[in-house]
Amino acid sequence: MAGIKQNIDLPPLRLGPRLECLLSLLPAVTGRLIDIGCDHALLPIAALERGMVGSALAVDVRSRPLDRAHANIIARGLEQGIGTVLSDGFDEIDLQPGDTAVIAGIGATVIVDILRRARESGKLFPGFFLLLQPTRSTAALRMYLTPEWEIVAEKFFFQGGRLYNFLSTTYRGCSEDNSTTHNDNITEFPDISVDIYSYIAKRKPSPASLYSVWMGECNLRDRGIAPDLWRRYLRHQLSAAREFMLGAPSKQKETWRELCRILEEEIK
C-alpha cells in the first residue's frame, strides 16, 4: 500500500465467509490482483487494505456493477491503488508478469469462455495464478482445465445448504501436442450449462477418473483433514450424481450409475 492513502476513518471491511475464503487462498503478491467479474469490488478492496497485493484491477462486463465498484473504491480512498475496467473477461486487459487473478461467483461455462479467449489471444503465461470459484459445473471445469492448467489446491464449504468450491490454479502453458487436445475440449464445451454433464460423459472417462474429477483430486488428497465435512461432501456429490443418472440419455446412464456405486461404497 506504499503511496496509497486509504480512508483510515473507516472500520475494516467485513466480508462474508465466501469472500474471506477467497482472500485466504490468494497468494500474497507485490503485483496486481485482477478481479474478473468484480461486481462490488469488495475482494480487491480487502486484499489491498490488508496489504496482500501491490495494486488491483476491478473488472466487470457490465457498467452498473463497475460503477458500484468505483463508488466503493472511492469511499475507501483506494482510487490510486485499484483501477476499474469495463471488459469481457481479460479482453481489455494486458496481463503482466506478476499478475494474479480471480474469477468468482460465475458459472463454469462463462469461465471457460473467458479462459478460451485469453488463451487464444496469447495473454496467458506459464505460472500465472488464477483463483476460481465457479457457481456450478465444477467437475466439468476441472476436466476442461486439465492439462494446461494445474489445479494446485482446492477448498470447499457449505453455507445455507449450498456447496461452494474454490480452485487454485496455475497456467502450465500449451505445447504443440496438448493444444490439440485442449482445443477439442474448448469446441465441445457446451454453451448451455445443463448440457455440461454430457460433456463429461462424451469423454468416456473410466469410473475412477470420473470419480476423481467429480470430487477433485486435491479434495481427495485432503479428505482426512475434516472427516465430517468430507462425509457431507460425499453425500452431496452422490445426490448430484443420482440426479444426473436419472436425467442422462440411456447411453450415458451407466457412467453415472458406476459413479453412484463408488460413492455409495465410500459412504458405507
Ligand X SMILES: C[S@@+](CC[C@H](N)C(=O)[O-])C[C@H]1O[C@@H](n2cnc3c(N)ncnc32)[C@H](O)[C@@H]1O
Q: Which residues sit at the interface with ligand X, rule CB under 6 A?
A: 36-39, 59-62, 65, 88-89, 104-106, 110, 114
Q: Show the DSSP H helices in 12-102 as ranges.
A: 17-25, 42-49, 63-75
Shortest Å distance, C-beta 163 to ligand X: 15
Shortest Å distance, C-beta 58 to ligand X: 9
Euclidean distance between CA atoms 150 and 178, whole angstroms: 14
In the bound state with ligand X, the residue whose beta carbon lies nearer, of 107 and 207, is 107
The full DSSP string for 170-214 is EE----HHHHHHHHHHHHHS-SSGGGHHHHHHHT---HHHHHHHH
In the bound state with ligand X, the residue whose beta carbon lies nearer, of 134 and 216, is 134
In the bound state with ligand X, the residue whose beta carbon lies nearer, of 36 and 201, is 36
Shortest Å distance, C-beta 16 to ligand X: 9
Shortest Å distance, C-beta 33 to ligand X: 12
In the bound state with ligand X, the residue whose beta carbon lies nearer, of 89 and 216, is 89
Residue with cell 487462498: 25
Burial class (CB in 10 A: 0-12, 13-18, 19+), 40: middle
Q: Nearest-CA neighbor of 199 among 211, 212, 210?
A: 210
In the bound state with ligand X, the residue whose beta carbon lies nearer, of 101 and 210, is 101
In the bound state with ligand X, the residue whose beta carbon lies nearer, of 60 and 258, is 60
Shortest Å distance, C-beta 199 to ligand X: 19
Q: Nearest-CA neighbor of 141 among 173, 262, 131?
A: 131
Euclidean distance between CA atoms 58 and 39, whole angstroms: 8
Strands 162-171, 82-86: pairing kind: unpaired
In the bound state with ligand X, the residue whose beta carbon lies nearer, of 62 and 231, is 62
Euclidean distance between CA atoms 99 and 211, whole angstroms: 33
Shortest Å distance, C-beta 87 to ligand X: 6
Amino acid (one-letter) located at 116: R
Shortest Å distance, C-beta 49 to ligand X: 16
Q: Nearest-CA neighbor of 110 among 37, 198, 23?
A: 37
Residue with cell 503485483: 31
